[in-house]
Amino acid sequence: MKKFINNVDDFLKESLNGFGKAHNNIIKVNFEPNFISRNTKTKEGKVSLISGGGSGHEPMHGGFVGHGMLDAACPGFVFSAPTPDQMQAAAEHVDSGAGVLFIVKNYSGDIMNFQMGAEMYSGKNDSIITNDDVAVEDSTFTTGRRGVAATVLVEKIVGSLAENGGSLEECKKLGEKVNKNSGTMGVAFTSCTVPAAGKPTFDIGNDEMEFGVGIHGEPGRKREKIQPSKTIVNNMLEAILDDLKPQKNEKTLLFVNGMGGTPLTELYLVYDDACEILKSKGIEITRSLVGNYCTSLEMQGASITLLKGDEEILKNWDSPVHTAAMRWGM
């Protein structure tokens, strides 16, 4: 394992320390229990948004704390759900009385810990669960699909509504709509290495890729030989379109997300391929996002998310945001 590490046990703490110092104009890092909050008090009447999850997906979620997005983020250990006391403390810290909306990715550990945190918090609160990954089937016998990159879009769009005075109910409703209108598919070329494990999460051949990989290096649909980008992107989009079934000429946001180890150069190439393929299918791309937003440590690979955007979604996407990882309009 080659990583910038002093001591494995201090990995998260030291990284959070650096994050706090680098972005002290926007956020503050609280330790024991760990949470990142804005460095300003929540406006009276504004619903607070709190997300969180295992670390290793940076900038998600701490990088999305700030004006127009989250009020707080609770980082767990690498790839491990945060603990209920973190959510409780974050909620007590940020809630201005208008209530707290927890944004939770669909993993057993996250769901359980957020549920317990919500039970321990005495103020008004509700939760939304993201499950945009189309790689794995949803059925009555499963805990369902994984929550992945569309969580970024949910946090941005609901964050805007909350900033503009949306109620807890309205925020939840919009978040659920964004989640439902999104589909994501990921591909990995290499594994990630969890610092505590010290070795790659999975073995993969030099000429192989994992199609439908999860953001923790979990296996996806199949292992196959690597192909030209156009073929890979086409297969990814097909999986998404099968699920989302957009109308012809429906407006969409196209989000190409890096898994952490793939350069932007390649991500833009993927974006180009995706544009061409979507255009040929008569799907209109009206908004874009390209970059490393929902990562899997140093994994090489990318995910594509397509969001069907109605007027409400696009308006809230465009509104000003100022966080460590996303900034426009202010």
**Footprint of other proteins on this chain (CB under 8 A)?**
33, 54, 76-86, 107-109, 112-113, 115-116, 135-137, 141-143, 145-146, 194, 196-197, 201-202, 214, 216-219
Q: Which is nearer to other proteins, 78 or 236 (CB)?
A: 78
Residue with tokens 């073929």: 231
Distance of alpha carbon 318 from alpha carbon 312, whole angstroms: 10
Least gap, CB of 76 to other proteins (angstroms): 4
Q: Which is nearer to other proteins, 80 or 305 (CB)?
A: 80
CB atoms within 10 A of CB 168: 17
Q: Which is nearer to other proteins, 42 or 80 (CB)?
A: 80
Least gap, CB of 155 to other proteins (angstroms): 21
Q: 222: buried, middle or exposed (CB in 10 Å: 19+, 13-18, 0-12)? A: exposed
* 57 counts as catalytic: yes
Q: Which is nearer to other proteins, 16 or 171 (CB)?
A: 16
Least gap, CB of 10 to other proteins (angstroms): 14
Distance of alpha carbon 116 from alpha carbon 245, whole angstroms: 36
Residue with tokens 């999460």: 201
Those residues whose C-beta lies under 8 Å from the C-beta of residue 204, and which sit 6 or more positions away, are 188, 189, 190, 191, 210, 223
List, in sequence order, the alpha helices (H) in the chain: 11-22, 84-94, 108-120, 150-163, 168-180, 229-244, 264-280, 311-318
Q: Which residue in the list 23, 57, 67, 93 is annotated as catalytic? A: 57
Q: Which is nearer to other proteins, 123 or 219 (CB)?
A: 219
DSSP-derived 3-state class of residue 10 = helix
Contact 163, 319 (CB under 8 A): yes
Contact 74, 50 (CB under 8 A): yes
3-state secondary structure 62-116: HHHEEECCECEEEEEEECCCCCHHHHHHHHHHHCCCCCEEEEEECCHHHHHHHHH
Q: Which residue in the list 23, 61, 93, 216 is annotated as catalytic? A: 216
Q: Which is nearer to other proteins, 223 or 287 (CB)?
A: 223
DSSP-derived 3-state class of residue 6 = coil
Contact 184, 242 (CB under 8 A): no
Least gap, CB of 5 to other proteins (angstroms): 15
Could you give the residue numbers annotated as active site? 57, 216
